[in-house]
């Protein structure tokens, strides 16, 4: 998962992805934080179809590894991509100090 302009995305290289098929069938998920806090956050995935948003994410510095796999245009057109939105009913907190 990567943060781009205070929004959160999951993406990958073009091709069939089981994780995307699963999120299409059921967009509800739980994000498990493990670094600065142990925290489970309820979230919802929305597939990103908007070309401007897809380009913004792909061209973001955090996506540099993906750009080494294929062209930017192929990634913008064909990479699997979802935006993650955290829901109000986020789960269990084991450590209250959290840094993004």
Does residue 98 have a pLDDT over 60? no
The 3-state secondary structure of the chain reads: CEEECCEEEEECCCCCCHHHHHHHHCCEEEEEECCCCCEEEEEEEEECCCHHHHHHHHHCHHHHHHHCCCCHHHHHHHCCEEEEEECCCCCCECCCCCCC
Per-residue model confidence as pLDDT tens digits over 24-40: 999 999 999 888 888 99
99 pLDDT tier (thresholds 50, 70, 90):
very low
pTM of the model: 0.81
> Does residue 11 lie within any of the structural domains?
yes
Give how many domains the chain has, as a whole number: 1
Asked if residues 75 and 14 have their Cβ atoms less than 8 Å apart, the reply is yes
CA 70/CA 93 separation, integer angstroms: 39
pLDDT tier at 89, thresholds 50, 70, 90: low
CATH number at 45 reads 2.30.110.10
For 9, the domain range is 2-86
Decide if 98 is inside a domain: no
């Amino acid at each position: 998962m990567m943060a781009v302009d205070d929004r959160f995305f999951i993406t990958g290289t073009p091709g069939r992805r089981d994780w995307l098929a699963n999120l299409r069938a059921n967009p509800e998920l739980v994000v498990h934080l493990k670094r600065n806090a142990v925290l489970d956050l309820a979230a919802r995935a929305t597939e990103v179809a908007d070309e401007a948003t897809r380009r913004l994410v792909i061209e973001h510095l955090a996506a540099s590894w993906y750009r080494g796999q294929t062209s930017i245009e192929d990634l913008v057109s064909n990479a699997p991509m979802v935006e993650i939105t955290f829901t109000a009913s986020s789960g269990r907190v084991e450590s209250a100090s959290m840094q993004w």
